[in-house]
Amino acid sequence: MPRGVPDVPRVPDLVGDVAGILISEQQIRERVAELGAQVSTDFEGRELTLMSVLKGSLPFMADLMRAITIPVQIDLMEVSSYGGTATESSGLVRILKDLSSSIDGKHVLIVEDIIDTGLTLNYLIRYLRGKNPRSLHICTLLDKPARRLVDIPIDYLGFTIPDQFVVGYGLDYGELYRNLPFIGVLQPEVYTSA
Ligand code: IMP
């Protein structure tokens, strides 16, 4: 260890670690309201299940479902990709929590936080199609098209973002920063000192 470099792990600083805000709380609120209104119109008179993917989609799901004005049911799955790194997906997906109820014959809207390579959602779509839903649509808050490896048909999109790793509003780096109310970018030191 060189002289002057403290031999202690870096302590995360929720707000201090943020280099900049990419999408503000207000922008998120306004866009989620628009998406909720659109979903309500499109699925009027139909039986809709919102299926969200833990953990990153939790705030988006909670806000979106309250912006929807038709009756909906909700279900939650938890998946984790493995074999990758803290900022890179591998495409290998493990189901940690499966659906609680059958989606056979139901209209299902997948509620996702972000589509990056698309590998996670590609796996999930194939898995859910096998459960025989009446229809399967996709709603994602963020889309990072620059890194897409598989084509994903997005039906409802919050924001398209550049090829940057983002945190906040459910999105994490090393399981932290999910509770920031906006979408932000971390200081480079946070990654380099990990
Ligand atoms: P994909 O399989 O590459 O599309 O990655 C999907 C998952 O990777 C998301 O559901 C997130 O959990 C995570 N992810 C991808 N990009 C980011 C990011 O910029 N910030 C935080 N998590 C991300």
Residue 121's alpha-carbon distances to 69, 128, 134, 154, in angstroms, are 26, 10, 18, 11
152 lines ligand 1 (CB under 6 A): no
Say if residues 12 and 176 touch (Cβ distance below 8 Å): yes
193 Cα to the center of ligand 1, angstroms? 21
Say if residues 82 and 23 touch (Cβ distance below 8 Å): no
Structure tokens at 106: 């139901």
63 lines ligand 1 (CB under 6 A): no
Helix or strand (DSSP H, E) at 80: strand 72-82
Q: What is the spatial distance between Cα 130 and Cα 39, in angstroms, rounded to a whole number?
A: 24
In the beta sheet, which residues pair with residue 179?
Answer: none
pLDDT tens sequence for the chain (194 residues): 455 555 667 788 888 899 999 999 999 999 999 999 999 999 999 989 999 999 999 999 999 999 999 999 999 999 987 666 666 666 778 999 999 999 999 999 999 999 999 999 999 999 999 999 999 999 999 999 999 999 999 999 999 999 999 999 999 999 999 999 999 999 888 887 66
Task: Please report, as a single letter, which amino acid is at residue 145.
Answer: P
Where do the DSSP E strands lie in the chain? Answer: 18-23, 48-54, 72-82, 92-97, 107-115, 135-143, 156-160, 166-167, 183-186
Structure tokens at 55: 């953990």
- What share of residues in the chain are helix, strand, coil (percent, to 5)? 25, 30, 45
pLDDT reported for residue 138: 98
66 Cα to the center of ligand 1, angstroms? 24
Across 66-99, b (16+ Cβ under 10 Å) vs e yields ebbeeebeebbbebebeeeeeeebebebeeeeeb
Task: Please report, as a single letter, which amino acid is at residue 66.
Answer: R
Q: Give the position, in ligand 1's atom list, of the atom nearest the Cα of 144.
A: 16
